[in-house]
Chains A and B, each alone.
Chain A
């Protein structure tokens, strides 16, 4: 579906809400803003409720019998299981501080994309169905009944939230819309309301170990293909190991890096780094075809599904007998690892305290979960002078850095990537204040919304990020948007093409790979993308 031109889209932004009360404005499900529903197969594979073929544009969503009761009971259960949910349902004062913080609202102007109203969609059901005041006073107490129309509205808008948590940092009570969306989607999944772009990766990940459904032999092939490419550029071919029992470290990264540009270049960066560490220091890092996914679309489905998919990392680390786990560049993967994994699938008492065998640094901040972020791992190597780097091989790059939502607001991972970047490139410019670090903006396609059919809302939601990129592009001629998230690499590419043509997207380890001097390499003519290095142009 063709969408408007960027300047038309920008001009049409209107933040003025309609005159009618929001409870009287039914959700109009617009093509370009919703993702297709999941077919029955992926749901059947993992045993999720109400598998069937359905279309959100149809009047009949083929809901199971007694669905109202399922949702209300599910809500009650979750109010007991999650204090967060209970408090967030009770204490919002609708001060409006969050209203203009959501990228989807800024770009679309749809008032139900204001986080406060997105939450009210569910809160009104809570009040109307589960509180005495709401049951008696109805709308005067802000309550409404759960009808099919209301349900459709919740589905539509809960799949227009990317769980980025930007609103939560502005809320005076710390109300986190991501948490409400996570639980809202969990409720919707109880009656089979989902989107295909999440359900299919979940089923794939359960079966093959990764979202893209890459089978073991193909996974190995793909990585070896990258090794061939590296050989062409460096004259040296890395030889990664797979499923190796007794390796030092297990490496897990999002499968997006294995599959699609420009993540593939980041993946080459990992391969180059690991080869270097093997040659120079004898470090044995292995890849797993079974735990071949760092990302976790279970997080976008239900807490239970998140746990089911995440379990593979520890299970595989235990089976292979590695010392600890190293994780690649990915946003929501790190939200899960940092804030959920140990609690859900730990304790990881079969692993050792993560210590870098090369520098001797103890990763105290990962002492319980025993999983280290590759960017902190590399930062430590650089700090201790263990990498032989040549910045001039990134001389084509004038970079800025996009803080991915989850490492930003779910970890506080700010200085490590900047430290690495400053050691591998010469030209770096920060985007304007208010758009970076804890106030960073989503790429527009997080939380499983990076589909093709919802392009319009993705471009609208990507606008705040893109606009900050445009600022440094215009002012400092920035041509590279670096990030540490696989979904970012996939979605930002299309998004900057639309809003800021002339800027490319890369992972931090692509730039590390470019700068790293491999022992015995031949003189390099190009970077990992095959672009000629400055000074190497043919006369």
Chain B
């Protein structure tokens, strides 16, 4: 049900763009105003969110240690999984952010007869997650050819590499295939694995359907419903040079594509997609594990009520003396100031 709601929502968005930009001819709204607002919302929203996180204190160094700590010189330290230096942290974060290190560790539990539990390596999620994220990046970068004139060489090269299979005209992008496969894997595991279905929320399905929508409209536009690519470039160049125009002859499919991207940008900062920023700030990963060696300061550390030795001795002095334990004050006299202190 949660998946169906999300799917309908994406259909509704498509319909909205079809009617708005197509039937009603509000091309300026869908081609200029909404994209501008979306970019603005994305940039401001993303920044506000990250600043909001940054404003929260980091009172303790709660590193998750996944390897041998720095110890004696004769014990080999795991500098990446349990870093004791900033370089170690940078290395750990590199593997985490760019190679999804923790997800690579994934295992699957299996319960067998005869009271046996086994843990097997399970890297499919890692594989498809990494495929999805990197092809998404490639696609974003390859779109830069619409926003630059002349197109810088790296973008041209990327475009050529992506199309190196040389199938069809215009040539088929490898990234189009991979991202669809990855998205469907991510969607199907949510729908088909019972525990995944159980934990999934509408806000897990919605971005999946939305991105699938973006990809499919993009593919349709390129390979099937041919649109005037020069007109689109005129529009996109108009957007980045702040001289917006809406040339004639751009098919409605383009406006649907653009509208879905705009919705994605609006939605990004208020959703789980913010893991893109959050992964850099996660305190279990981006701090050193050598807390006994280098003191961490808590900015809001405050004095607390403690039970002092004097108060303790006052309560037990008699028993202590009887047991032959040393006491500070002799039996008769009660110490002053033996109240609990702040």
Residues of A that sit less than 8 Å from B by CB: 6-7, 10, 13, 15-18, 21-22, 47, 79-87, 90-97, 99-101, 106, 111, 114, 116-117, 120, 131-133, 139-142, 165, 168-176, 179, 206-209, 215-217, 220-221, 242-245, 289-290, 303-304, 307-308, 311-312, 315-316, 319, 337-340, 342-344, 346-347, 361, 364-369, 371, 376, 379-380, 383, 408-416, 419, 432-435, 438-439, 463-464, 467-468, 470-471, 499
In the complex, residue of chain B having the shortest beta-carbon distance to the beta carbon of A291: B309
In the complex, residue of chain A having the shortest beta-carbon distance to the beta carbon of B323: A217
In the complex, residue of chain B having the shortest beta-carbon distance to the beta carbon of A337: B292
Q: How far is the CB of B84 from chain A (nearest CB, A)?
A: 8
Contact A174 B282 (CB under 8 A): yes
Partner of A176 from B62, B81, B100 at Cβ < 8 Å:
B62
Partner of B195 from A96, A207, A346 at Cβ < 8 Å:
A96
Chain B residues with Cβ below 8 Å from A467 are: 115-117
Chain A residues with Cβ below 8 Å from B62 are: 84, 176, 179, 339, 410
Q: How far is the CB of A387 from chain B (nearest CB, A)?
A: 16
B108 interface residue, CB < 8 Å from A? yes
Contact B278 A217 (CB under 8 A): no
Q: How far is the CB of B325 from chain A (nearest CB, A)?
A: 5
Partner of B307 from A96, A97, A206 at Cβ < 8 Å:
A206
Q: How far is the CB of A401 from chain B (nearest CB, A)?
A: 14
Chain A residues with Cβ below 8 Å from B70 are: 364-365
Contact A311 B304 (CB under 8 A): yes
How far apart are the CA atoms of A411 and B72 in the complex, in Å? 14
Which of B23-31, B138-146, B269-277 faces chain A? Answer: B269-277
Contact A369 B72 (CB under 8 A): no
Known contacts A170-B102, A365-B70; A290/B309 CB under 8 A: yes
Over the window 75-119 of chain B, the binary record of Cβ atoms lying under 8 Å from chain A Cβ atoms (1 yes, 0 no) is: 110100110000000000000100010110111110100011101
Contact A342 B72 (CB under 8 A): no
User: In the complex, given contacts A168-B284, A243-B326, A471-B116, what are 13 additional A-B residue pairs having Cβ atoms less than 8 angstroms apart?
Assistant: A83-B58, A84-B284, A90-B278, A91-B274, A91-B275, A94-B272, A97-B103, A169-B66, A173-B278, A217-B325, A244-B326, A364-B293, A412-B65
How far apart are the CA atoms of A92 and B5 in the complex, in Å? 21
Q: How far is the CB of B81 from chain A (nearest CB, A)?
A: 7
How far apart are the CA atoms of A304 and B59 in the complex, in Å? 12
Size of the B side of the interface (Cβ < 8 Å), in residues, is: 99
Q: How far is the CB of A430 from chain B (nearest CB, A)?
A: 15
B297 interface residue, CB < 8 Å from A? yes
In the complex, residue of chain A having the shortest beta-carbon distance to the beta carbon of B324: A220
Contact B72 A216 (CB under 8 A): no
Q: How far is the CB of B236 from chain A (nearest CB, A)?
A: 30
Over the window 50-78 of chain B, the binary record of Cβ atoms lying under 8 Å from chain A Cβ atoms (1 yes, 0 no) is: 00111111111111111111111011101
How far apart are the CA atoms of A135 and B124 in the complex, in Å? 36
Contact A80 B57 (CB under 8 A): yes
Chain A residues with Cβ below 8 Å from B105 are: 169-170, 439
How many residue pairs link A and B with beta carbons under 8 A? The number is 312
Partner of B203 from A6, A21, A141, A413 at Cβ < 8 Å:
A141
Chain B residues with Cβ below 8 Å from A432 are: 119
Partner of A308 from B78, B117, B294, B305 at Cβ < 8 Å:
B305
Give residues 197-230 of B contacting A (CB, 8 Å): 197-204
Chain A residues with Cβ below 8 Å from B49 are: 90
B11 interface residue, CB < 8 Å from A? no
Chain B residues with Cβ below 8 Å from A114 are: 195, 199
Partner of B300 from A7, A81, A141, A244 at Cβ < 8 Å:
A81
Which of B250-258, B314-322, B329-337 faces chain A? Answer: B314-322
Partner of A140 from B202, B279, B294 at Cβ < 8 Å:
B202
Chain A residues with Cβ below 8 Å from B198 are: 17-18, 22, 111, 117
How far apart are the CA atoms of A117 and B326 in the complex, in Å? 53
Q: How far is the CB of B61 from chain A (nearest CB, A)?
A: 6
Give residues 1-16 of B contacting A (CB, 8 Å): 2, 5
Known contacts A90-B274, A343-B298; A173/B115 CB under 8 A: no
Residues of B that sit less than 8 Å from A by CB: 2, 5, 49, 52-72, 74-76, 78, 81-82, 96, 100, 102-103, 105-109, 111, 115-117, 119, 125, 129, 189, 193-204, 270, 272, 274-275, 278-279, 281-285, 289-298, 300-301, 304-309, 312-313, 315-316, 319-320, 322-326
Known contacts A133-B270, A243-B325, A311-B306; A94/B102 CB under 8 A: no
Contact A242 B292 (CB under 8 A): no
Chain B residues with Cβ below 8 Å from A116 are: 199
Chain B residues with Cβ below 8 Å from A365 are: 69-71, 290, 292-293
Chain A residues with Cβ below 8 Å from B199 are: 22, 94, 96, 99, 111, 114, 116-117, 120
Partner of B194 from A16, A316, A338, A471 at Cβ < 8 Å:
A16
Contact B56 A81 (CB under 8 A): yes
Partner of A172 from B52, B100, B109, B301 at Cβ < 8 Å:
B100
Q: Which of B82, B294, B325 has the most CB of A within 10 A?
A: B325
Q: How far is the CB of A118 from chain B (nearest CB, A)?
A: 11
How far apart are the CA atoms of A264 and B201 in the complex, in Å? 50
How far apart are the CA atoms of A368 and B293 in the complex, in Å? 5
How far apart are the CA atoms of A393 and B26 in the complex, in Å? 88
Cross-chain pairs A/B with CB under 8 angstroms, 24 sampled: A22-B199, A80-B55, A83-B56, A83-B58, A84-B283, A91-B272, A91-B275, A94-B200, A120-B199, A172-B96, A173-B275, A173-B279, A175-B282, A176-B62, A208-B316, A221-B323, A243-B325, A243-B326, A312-B307, A315-B306, A338-B291, A365-B71, A369-B295, A467-B117
Chain A residues with Cβ below 8 Å from B291 are: 338-339, 342-343, 369
How far apart are the CA atoms of A31 and B180 in the complex, in Å? 48
How far apart are the CA atoms of A394 and B288 in the complex, in Å? 38
Chain A residues with Cβ below 8 Å from B103 are: 95, 97, 170, 172
Contact A13 B111 (CB under 8 A): yes
Chain B residues with Cβ below 8 Å from A100 are: 107-109, 195
How far apart are the CA atoms of A133 and B272 in the complex, in Å? 12
Q: How far is the CB of A249 from chain B (nearest CB, A)?
A: 16
In the complex, residue of chain A having the shortest beta-carbon distance to the beta carbon of B103: A172
Contact B125 A95 (CB under 8 A): yes
Chain B residues with Cβ below 8 Å from A17 are: 194-195, 197-198
Known contacts A174-B285, A416-B75; A343/B61 CB under 8 A: yes
How far apart are the CA atoms of A323 and B323 in the complex, in Å? 26
Known contacts A344-B301, A361-B72; A410/B65 CB under 8 A: yes
How far apart are the CA atoms of A15 and B117 in the complex, in Å? 13
Q: How far is the CB of B256 from chain A (nearest CB, A)?
A: 23
Q: How far is the CB of A214 from chain B (nearest CB, A)?
A: 11
Contact A366 B292 (CB under 8 A): yes
Partner of A242 from B129, B272, B284, B325 at Cβ < 8 Å:
B325
Chain B residues with Cβ below 8 Å from A319 are: 309
Chain B residues with Cβ below 8 Å from A47 are: 305
Contact B282 A412 (CB under 8 A): no
Contact B312 A209 (CB under 8 A): yes
In the complex, residue of chain A having the shortest beta-carbon distance to the beta carbon of B74: A383
How far apart are the CA atoms of A79 and B326 in the complex, in Å? 47
Contact B278 A366 (CB under 8 A): no
Chain A residues with Cβ below 8 Å from B56 are: 79-83, 85-86
